[in-house]
A and B are shown apart, each in its own frame.
Chain A
């Protein structure tokens, strides 16, 4: 009996002690191609920087209502990196948060910090911004540098990966 009890506790305790379930949702995609200014004069290259025309929206929400009710102001942080499909190492992608989003069904300013200056996005995850509780539709803007006619006529694609962690 005692052994059975220990057995049950051994396997269920980790489930009871796990951190709150947070989810991250993403909306939109980023296409720089339509923002590219044609070269105005023979002998010249493209302008040095492009900002994506489309906006990305990030939402951090609870996985279940019980967590939301019991711990409405859980701390979390978002990290960002990219996974290249077809890329050129000379291309430099940068991201920044351009707004605070909003708290669903709750007035007041979202508790969100950092990430409001452009920072490089690399293949290694790096801290982006942090917040507390559910915050939805946080706008993120992207900027691209380093492109040149010396790369030839090419298509490039990469995937941005936003990861939310419980901030313990």
Chain B
């Protein structure tokens, strides 16, 4: 009986073994590489028309001080795109007067506003109202991997203001031009 059982079991195994033979397969591999580079781009909008103009007008009445025609300008925006390497956490934007000298008795200020627009990622924070000079001073800090969007109404609005600090220091009339340099710099 036992012998018959063994025989039948072996016969059954022989019948089903072909059915459980595995399908063949093989595989091959291809490597895919992609690098994103470091990016640091900055510009002032509106493009091609980013001059601001302040005019001091004399008083019509003797004994009264001269005044600025407009004390602030809010027409300019700053845009940027930033991609940092792995070992770096943030960047800043500094501003300085690279050409020209602010006349004695007058102070020129710049204050970047909070970010707005259709950018994404880590945009920066305003550094507050800054007096412009020939030394670079941060106006926006904490910029990470991100972009502001392009054009006006994107990025940080720039508010320039001018103040007469010392009338006795204002020595002459005339037109004075300055060039401001903005730098997106690693921290």
Contact residues of A with B, CB < 8 Å? Answer: 6, 9-10, 13-14, 17-26, 28-33, 36, 39, 41-45, 52, 56, 58, 82, 91, 93, 142, 144, 147-166, 168
A42: B residues at CB distance < 8 A = 41-43, 79-81, 148, 150
A61 to chain B minimum Cβ distance, whole angstroms, is 10
Question: A23-B26, A42-B43, A151-B83 are known contacts. Are A160 and B36 too (CB-CB below 8 A)?
Answer: no
- Are B37 and A153 in contact, with the CB atoms below 8 A? yes
Question: A144-B34, A149-B82, A157-B32 are known contacts. Are A20 and B24 too (CB-CB below 8 A)?
Answer: yes
Question: A10-B14, A45-B81 are known contacts. Are A147 and B32 too (CB-CB below 8 A)?
Answer: no
B42: A residues at CB distance < 8 A = 42
- Are A21 and B24 in contact, with the CB atoms below 8 A? yes
B29 to chain A minimum Cβ distance, whole angstroms, is 5
Q: In the complex, what distance in Å separates the CA atom of A167 from the CA atom of B34?
A: 34
- Are B32 and A39 in contact, with the CB atoms below 8 A? no
Does B151 belong to the interface (CB within 8 Å)? yes
B142 to chain A minimum Cβ distance, whole angstroms, is 15
Besides A152-B86, A153-B37, A159-B29, 20 more A-B contacts (Cβ < 8 Å) are A14-B21, A18-B21, A23-B26, A24-B27, A29-B33, A32-B33, A39-B39, A43-B43, A43-B149, A148-B120, A149-B121, A149-B145, A150-B145, A151-B145, A152-B83, A153-B83, A155-B33, A158-B32, A159-B32, A160-B30
A159: B residues at CB distance < 8 A = 29-32
Interface of A is mostly: mixed
A141 to chain B minimum Cβ distance, whole angstroms, is 12
A59 to chain B minimum Cβ distance, whole angstroms, is 9
Question: A43-B149, A152-B85 are known contacts. Are A26 and B35 too (CB-CB below 8 A)?
Answer: no
A selection of 14 A-B contacts at a CB cut-off of 8 Å is A6-B14, A17-B21, A19-B23, A26-B28, A43-B147, A43-B148, A43-B151, A43-B154, A52-B32, A149-B81, A152-B86, A153-B83, A159-B32, A163-B27
Contact residues of B with A, CB < 8 Å? Answer: 10, 13-14, 17-18, 20-39, 41-43, 79-86, 119-122, 145-151, 154-155
A20: B residues at CB distance < 8 A = 24
A18: B residues at CB distance < 8 A = 21-22, 24
Q: In the complex, what distance in Å separates the CA atom of A33 from the CA atom of B119?
A: 24
B88 to chain A minimum Cβ distance, whole angstroms, is 9
